[in-house]
Structure 1
Amino acid sequence: MSPRKRLLIVYHTQSGNTGSLAEAVLRGAARVDETDTRLMRAFDAGTDELLACDGLLLGTPENFGTMSGALKDFFDRTYYPCEGRLVGLPYAIFVSAGNDGTGAVREIGRIANGYGWKSVAEALIARKAVTTGHLRAAEELGEAMASGLAMGIF
């Protein structure tokens, strides 16, 4: 029997919108019994948690057309200690955006490329107010990521 896969969800929220999405992602991932999922705020997550995961979901508000400073701080603290150690790590992104969210997705993608990670889903961008449709999509994202890890697809 293979060891259980570990999914890490790292997010930052200021207004609570990205936090609502993160909770929905967690609910979806929790439907998959074969995967252990951990939800952490960006300032609390670090190298140990990142190196221990088999898949990663990253959530951020769009701030000034890019990711939050907290998520950038997570990357700044973990990049060099993890450099070359997580090549091929599957990841996906969810963004709460007041504008269009594409700047945050683009910049996270550039950093993820530096880590050598592999994007496995289209970014979920909740534009303006977070709706029940966005929350449903976030649950589906969490469940899909956890299922993909459990089945060895990613």
Structure 2
Amino acid sequence: MTLPQAEILVLYYSRYGATAAMAEVIARGIESVAGALAKVRTVPEVSPVCEAVEDAIPAQGPPYARIEDLISCDGLALGSPTHFGNMAAPLKYFIDQTSSVWFSGALAGKPAGVFTATSSMHGGHETTLLSMMLPLLHHGMLIVGIPARETALLKTKTGGTPYGPSHLSGEENPTLSAEEKALCLSFGQRLARAALALKGREV
């Protein structure tokens, strides 16, 4: 058994499960590439008054992310539901704590991409993805999107953007469509291949 050559952190927040479902498919895409390992992590809720008190390990789903998970990763897939055209507060809260990572330059030159779920067609999925890229660019990460050669991007009637995978959730679309799944898989594969190609190189 060969050890993985690149570990991709799939870091997300999900309130109702749609973003979590995307994270699972993206992780499968990552691990379909030889030499790549997906490390799936989430973040706890926050409250309007103070950080919500949570158990160290959530009752269900993946463990909570630590700053060390960011530092040690070879690539990053960052996911959030769309909240008024922007990432959700719990994920933003975690990202806002990464100043020490920025000072160290630990993420510079590593590939990253973003994904989101929204309950309405015009809920702001593209602006959410674009806004999620901004802190990654400040960290010096290299953004991975979805090229037009992905046929699912041209056929999708729900989610899917060049900026990263998206899912149109809601009562009419309770699960990922075939095209959304294909885009999540492809995105994970592209991110894994980029991480393998870039690992150990100065960019």
CA contact (8 A) 2:110 2:195 kept: no
In structure 1, what residue type is equivalent to 2:128?
A: A
Deviation at 1:3, TM superposition (A): 7.1
Uncovered stretches (5+) of structure 1, i.e. residues with no partner: none
In structure 2, what residue type is equivalent to 1:126?
A: H
Counterpart of 1:52?
Answer: 72
* More deviation, 7-16/136-145: 136-145
Q: 1:148 aligns with which of 172, 194, 201?
A: 194
SS at structure 2 position matched to 1:67: coil
**Distance in 1 between residues matched to 2:142 and 2:87, nearest whole Å:** 19
Q: 1:125-140 alignment to 2 at 5 Å?
A: 125-128=166-169, 129=173, 130-140=176-186
Percent identity of equivalent pairs? 23
**Distance in 2 between residues matched to 1:3 and 1:145, nearest whole Å:** 15
Structure with more of its chain in strand, by fraction: 1
**Distance in 2 between residues matched to 1:90 and 1:56, nearest whole Å:** 7
Choose 1 or 2 for highest CA Rg: 2
Counterpart of 1:112?
Answer: 136
Matched, 1:80 2:111: no
Structure with more of its chain in helix, by fraction: 1
Q: 1:96 aligns with which of 117, 125, 134?
A: 117
Deviation at 1:106, TM superposition (A): 2.3
- The change in CA–CA distance for 1:111 and 1:59 in structure 2 (over 3 A counts) is same
**Distance in 1 between residues matched to 2:94 and 2:77, nearest whole Å:** 13
In structure 1, what residue type is equivalent to 2:194?
A: G
How high is the TM-score relative to the length of structure 1? 0.88
**Distance in 1 between residues matched to 2:70 and 2:107, nearest whole Å:** 9
In structure 1, what residue type is equivalent to 2:101?
A: C
Aligned residue pairs, count: 153
In structure 1, what residue type is equivalent to 2:181?
A: L
How high is the TM-score relative to the length of structure 2? 0.68
Listed one character per residue, the Cα deviations across residues 55-106 of structure 1 (whole Å, up to 9, x for unaligned) are: 00011100122101121022012x2110133212210011112313122112
